[in-house]
Amino acid sequence: MKTVVTILRELVGLFVDDGSLAAGALIWAVICGWGLPLLGLGPRAQAALLVLGLAALLLENTLRASSRVRRGE
């Protein structure tokens, strides 16, 4: 059981380092794929918003990580 949990953890670790970035990218993909067409936005707008949103998520995440200062630093 312990080995299975370790393998699963390693497998998830391949794709997820910071949970909030992975969750944000997933949610944004769902919004761009299924939410934006409901608002009447076309495939070109979907493409632009997908790219811009992912970049914003990455930048927000790295900046948030950069602001964290541990004791002794």
Partner 1 sequence: MVSWVHALPSLTAAFLASLVEFVEALTVVLAVGTVRGWRPALCGTGLALGTLALLVLALGPALTRIPLDYVQLGVGLLLLLFGLRWLRKAILRAAGVIALHDEEAAYAGETALLKSYGSVRDPRWDAVAIATSFKIVMLEGTEVVFIVIAVGTAGGLLVPAGVGAGAALLVVVLLGLVLHRPLAKVPENALKFAVGVLLAAFGTFWLGEGIGVDWPGADWSVLGLVAWFLLVALGGVRLSRARRQAALAMAD
Buried b vs exposed e over 44-73: b needs ≥16 C-beta within 10 Å? eebeebbeebbeebeeebeeeeeeeeeeee
Pick from 4, 8, 34, 39 the residue near partner 1 by CB under 8 A: 34
Pick from 5, 10, 38, 40 the residue near partner 1 by CB under 8 A: 10
Name the site residues for partner 1 (rule: CB under 8 A). 10-11, 14-18, 21-22, 25-26, 29, 32-34, 42-44, 46-47, 50-51, 54-55, 57-59, 61-63, 65-69, 73
